[in-house]
Chain A
Amino acid sequence: QKEVEQNSGPLSVPEGAIASLNCTYSDRGSQSFFWYRQYSGKSPELIMFIYSNGDKEDGRFTAQLNKASQYVSLLIRDSQPSDSATYLCARGSGGSNYKLTFGKGTLLTVNP
């Protein structure tokens, strides 16, 4: 079983709608979670990170973490065509040799 699972999509939403991206993980010891955005042909760009249960908001982005259910989600409010990209979820392994495990990503398309 892949450690970090994401729906590959594509997820298609109209401009102005809320886009909801989900990620589940299998390691209950995971401490930190990250969302990256990757435009086609570009490198991953960090947009959010969350360590504690609950919601964390940053502008139009909200990350949600539920450690009991082992899922983390990213909500994008007022979606714009410029949000069209692949969104990668990653979890941190913690400890002294810090590594991230990535999901395969969800392709989001925002239609004008």
Chain B
Amino acid sequence: NAGVMQNPRHLVRRRGQEARLRCSPMKGHSHVYWYRQLPEEGLKFMVYLQKENIIDESGMPKERFSAEFPKEGPSILRIQQVVRGDSAAYFCASSLNQGNQPQHFGDGTRLSIL
């Protein structure tokens, strides 16, 4: 299966802990996007990365959230000092190039904060 792989599928954290979400793009794709889907809401863009570069982070909260896409390995979305409001499904998508290239999504990580 050469699809977008996200892990873990489910993650439970207590308030104040750190959450790390991983995304391996489709084979050959060098563009990665993170989206958040809050309960009963639509998907909202968070950040767009290429290898080793953040291209657009206009949808990222200013504090506690960071993302990286290293030269080797998966893209990581990191949430520090989690709060209840961070509970959501986090989806990663990848595309071959930017522009009109379609984005293919993983099955998401469902983050629950106790």
A and B interact:
no
